[in-house]
Structure 1
């Protein structure tokens, strides 16, 4: 789809008075080469419905249409942006739907029955809560290509025994295969944020129902362990497991939260689950 005849993103912003609102975490991407790179990072979009959150003036939305997305459902909280997107809706020949709503109140599966890819330059103030919400219901989601503050992206992809490794690392990597695709400097945005941003790609794993059922126990474990990350797990996990139960999983009780691997957290989660069944 060729959309080069439309007003530029800067012209759209000026026409509709779209001054970015800090309260909505808005930082607009205006360079089409950049948003096309994000769209390409999502892979083949043919036959796929794309969910976009926070389209703003529609730069990434245009790139997704150009990339051949069968349908785009854009969720936009700001009514000014919804109005600014009307020309793009008209040009999209039915391939673009814009919903004015808070994305935290909507489940992607309520919008789409078939395969879904989520592609978004997420507002900084709701990026992590949105990701966690989606991780709890991954059915139909083929992939998520999302932009965060770099510090959040580093936590998502962090390895064991690193400073960035934490609750978000374990949850994301237990449920999905993660990779950091590229960084964007503050100057790529309007207005420029104070931090570097990063695009992260997450592909849900094909986990069994048994393994998926461990997710709440893993969350409970990581909440306890990383809530006191400087302590040994014999202390930080004492509210959920005894030292004997930890040792039964061949895990030293002198280890700290960042030293435990995904496999070790899942083994401990199985122990907790077994205890629940025995009650």
Structure 2
């Protein structure tokens, strides 16, 4: 492994790689490249890369990919849909001596469990902004739990990161917070200023770590998504009104869950939504 670290450390600077391959970030792909090796290595360390199989989405020129190996990752699976980035990633693959597996494809359509195998791994990524939320949602809602991954360490726009970790009663609290905190412990590790990227985005970013709860309440993800979509779809309204899309008699359901019908979605803790989802699931099952 030390030989791989030496080879990766000896690769040319990323700015030289970008110029060599004429690889410039494309807004249409949600790309913002991280070139600061100190920052990418911090992300790799916070993601517990050492000794692990790591899945990385949207590696671009491979700044974080390099850092993963420098921090001791034993195997990296990088999924990249931009064919322009492949030559730069191939150079890292050569230095990594077979420990980097590059897949050209759509991360949203990838079967990760099949890709990683029974041993599982961790996901560490600077996610493309335009697919970050649907990717996270997909990783949080497999039918089987715990999932194949042992942790997620992901870069988001700060606003999205705050929505993931938001507490009930806050403006940021919504569907994403309920979904993430149902099955995970989630917290923001640190913020990343726009100047750290090329090109600099107009917003601050933040790195979030999510670790699975092995004892997460068992309920169908589709049921929880239906209930939260209804409740937060009209978040200014009382639940007795907003939940009419999910339940024919929302007041009776709320009473069964011990929730006042005059409360609003942003006031309800995750446990309350799980109770609602269980009833939704039971009603769906009885009507089928």
> Could you say whether these structures have the same fold, taking a TM-score greater than 0.5 normalized by the shorter chain as the test?
yes
Show the counterpart of 1:98: 102
State the distance in 1 between where 2:175 and 2:154 align: 19
Taking the TM superposition and a 5 Å limit, the aligned residue runs for 1:267-278 are: 267-278=275-286
CA-atom RMSD in angstroms = 1.3
State the distance in 1 between where 2:223 and 2:10 align: 53
The 3-state SS of whatever aligns with 2:244 is coil
TM-score of the superposed pair, with normalisation by structure 2: 0.93
- Of 135-144 and 96-105, more deviation after overlay is shown by 135-144
State the distance in 1 between where 2:225 and 2:215 align: 16
State the distance in 2 between where 1:234 and 1:133 align: 29
Q: Note the alpha carbon deviations across 1:46-98, whole angstroms, 9 max, x for none.
A: 1x210001111111001101111111000011111111111111110111011
1:146 to 151, 154, 160: 154
Q: Note the alpha carbon deviations across 1:145-172, whole angstroms, 9 max, x for none.
A: 0001111101001000000000011001
State the distance in 1 between where 2:176 and 2:123 align: 19
1:214–1:266 contact (8 Å) kept in structure 2:
no
State the distance in 2 between where 1:272 and 1:19 align: 48
Q: Note the alpha carbon deviations across 1:216-256, whole angstroms, 9 max, x for none.
A: 21111110000000000000012323212211211100000
Taking the TM superposition and a 5 Å limit, the aligned residue runs for 1:181-196 are: 181-196=189-204
Taking the TM superposition and a 5 Å limit, the aligned residue runs for 1:152-171 are: 152-171=160-179
1:225 to 227, 231, 235: 231
Show the counterpart of 1:5: 10
- Of 115-124 and 212-221, more deviation after overlay is shown by 212-221
The unaligned stretches of length 5 or more in structure 2 are none
Whether 1:87 aligns to 2:91 is yes
Aligned positions, number: 276
Show the counterpart of 2:206: 198
State the distance in 2 between where 1:139 and 1:158 align: 23
State the distance in 1 between where 2:93 and 2:246 align: 52
Whether 1:76 aligns to 2:84 is no
